[in-house]
Structures are given as structure tokens and as C-alpha cells.
Structure 1
Amino acid sequence: MEFNFLAVLVASLITLLVGFVWYNPKVFGTIWMKETGMTEEKAKQGNMLKIFGLTIFYSLMLAFVVPALVIHQMGALGMVGGPEFIASAKPSYAAFMADYGDAFRSYQHGALHGFMSGLFLALPITAINSLFEQKSWKYILINAGYWIVSLTIMGAIICGWK
């Protein structure tokens, strides 16, 4: 099983695409701005090159971890030490991959695991930070919802694209 860098790269761009829709004023953008105290004037003062550049960088970091969350075979690969150790792996690894190499490798299964990752990782992290920042539940649900949707789509792409 080879690492699909192109799928990871495309998945990393999903955060931008979902963000453009999710934080649009006609969707959740107006509510989000109210909950954060953001104004259009303040938003325009931001360094967009820095914001979008770092967003892409951090999204790529996140996308590199998603295969371990959504592709079951990554666990077997990890057990032999990684791709560089496949040639020296015991015959049981080759037999396992022959039997289960494509098992659960679908867009739907990846979406399920991506959704679960968002629900059980992104939501608690967002909620904990937001509670200490004394943010509202609207703020928590808007931001966590963004990550749940993004990770669901990222998981689908990375798991299903072989």
C-alpha cells in the first residue's frame, strides 16, 4: 500500500473550500463574526498571505495524519515499521495485505472515520479551548461543525482515492 500524496494534498485544500462556504455571511459567517467580535474592517486588516499560507501549511500537516485515522491498513503498515520495512516484513504481512489490502477502502468508509475524528477530536478540543475563552455555544458549534465537515470530506478523499 503506497502513500497517496496527491490525495493528501487535495484533502488539505478542503479546509479552504469548506471555509469559504461555511464562514460565508449567508451561511455562518455573520453569526461567527458576531460571536467573535470580528468586524469587516478588522478582517480586512489581516495579513491574508500569512493567514492563507499558514492555513494551507497547517491543513497539510493535518492531512498527513488523516490516513492513520481513516485507512485501517495503515495500522498493519505501522506494525512492520513503515514502508521502508515492507521488504523485510514477515510473510504474514504480505498475506494480510493480500486478503485485506482494499478492505474498507471506500469514500463512504473514509467519510465515516473522518466524521468520527471530527466529532471525537475536533469538537472536544474546540469546546475545551472555547469554554476557557468564555465563548458561546454558538461559537463552539460553528467552529467544531466546520472541522467535522472538513474532516469528513478529507477522510472520504484520503480513504477512497486509491
Structure 2
Amino acid sequence: MTEAPLFAPVWVFTQLNWLAIFVAFVAAFIAGAIWFGPKTFFPMWWRAMGKDPNNMEVTGNMAVTFGATAIAAFVEAIAVATVIYFVAAVSPHFGVLEGGLVGLLLGIGLAAASSLSHRLFAGQGFKVWLIEVSSDVVNLTIMGLIIGAWR
């Protein structure tokens, strides 16, 4: 039996394909921007949040909002790549479809399941949760597909 390196978690990061992680992050960030665009789900989401449909101006510091969102998406891509690294280590024929499945399962099993109670207890309802989590599931699946293809 071989011994794992002393700092295995840090060592894993050296084994990841950082170009794939970056491309997956960018692709998912673009998909999220399309998902919540003015011609797609943003108006429906805005109304479901109880906001005035005649005033769809988002307030607050948009640099902070987009910056934090980008950082979170990059962290998600790293997490997907790390899970794929460990799953692929025991699956010799791991590829793009398996990567997509990992992303889909992370989206449904972690993102969707954990955020449901947050939205419901916050009084935002099922519709808000469904719009938001569908974007998360799609984005994580995209990340998984890209990272799975490039592992």
C-alpha cells in the first residue's frame, strides 16, 4: 500500500487542469448571465422575488456583486474539478459524459437540495428556488462536461 503525501489536499491542486477549470468557470459564468438576462428568466425571477416589474433596476454595488459571483463560480469550478479528479482516479474510462454527470449530481444533490430550505424559510417560495437552482444545476453540469473532457 502506498502512502499518501503529507499534504495531500494541496498536492491534489497541482494535479488539476487549471486551463479546463478557467474555461469551465467562464462558460458557466456566461451561461448564468444568459440565464438571468433581461430576455430570459430575470423578469420572471424578479416578479417571483416580489419586486416591482415596472422597475427592474438592480441596486447595490454591482462590482462587488459580480466580483463575488465570479469568485464563487471559480471556487465551484475548482470543487467540480477536485471531485472529478478523485472519481476519475477509480474509473479508467472517465470522460466528458461522466464529467457532466458529476456536475449534474453535484448540482442536484448539493446546490439544489441545500438551498431549498433557505429559500422556503426566507419566504421567497418555490418559484424563486426553481429559477435559481436550475441555473446552478446547468452551470455545474457545464463545468463537469468541460472539466471531464479535459482531465
Whether these two folds match at TM > 0.5 is yes
- Cross-structure match for 2:4: none
CA distance in 2, matches of 1:61, 1:19: 15
Q: Which runs of 5+ in 2 are unaligned?
A: 1-13
Matched-pair identity in %: 31
Q: Which runs of 5+ in 1 are unaligned?
A: 77-99
Counterpart check, 1:15 vs 2:28: yes
Q: Looking at CA atoms only, which structure, 1 or 2, has the larger radius of gyration?
A: 1
Kindly report which structure 2 residues correspond to 1:4-153, keeping only aligned pairs within 5 A, or say none. Answer: 4-38=17-51, 39-41=55-57, 43=58, 45-71=59-85, 72-74=87-89, 102-104=92-94, 106-153=95-142
TM norm structure 1 = 0.74
State the AA in 2 paired with 1:73. Answer: A
8 Å CA contact 1:8–1:158 kept in 2: the answer is yes
Paired residues in the alignment total 134
- The Cα of 1:114 is off from its aligned counterpart by 0.6
Listed one character per residue, the Cα deviations across residues 108-142 of structure 1 (whole Å, up to 9, x for unaligned) are: 11111111111111111120110110122111110
- The Cα of 1:67 is off from its aligned counterpart by 1.7
Structure 1 stretch displaced more, 147-156 or 59-68: 59-68
CA distance in 2, matches of 1:24, 1:61: 23
- Cross-structure match for 1:154: 143
CA distance in 1, matches of 2:28, 2:50: 22
CA distance in 1, matches of 2:45, 2:62: 18
Aligned-residue Cα RMSD (Å) equals: 2.0
- The Cα of 1:156 is off from its aligned counterpart by 0.7
- Cross-structure match for 2:16: 3
- Residues 37 and 16 of structure 1: is their aligned pair in 2 closer, same or farther, counting only changes over 3 Å? farther
Structure 1 segments, 4+ long, off by >3 Å, are: none
8 Å CA contact 2:20–2:150 kept in 1: the answer is yes
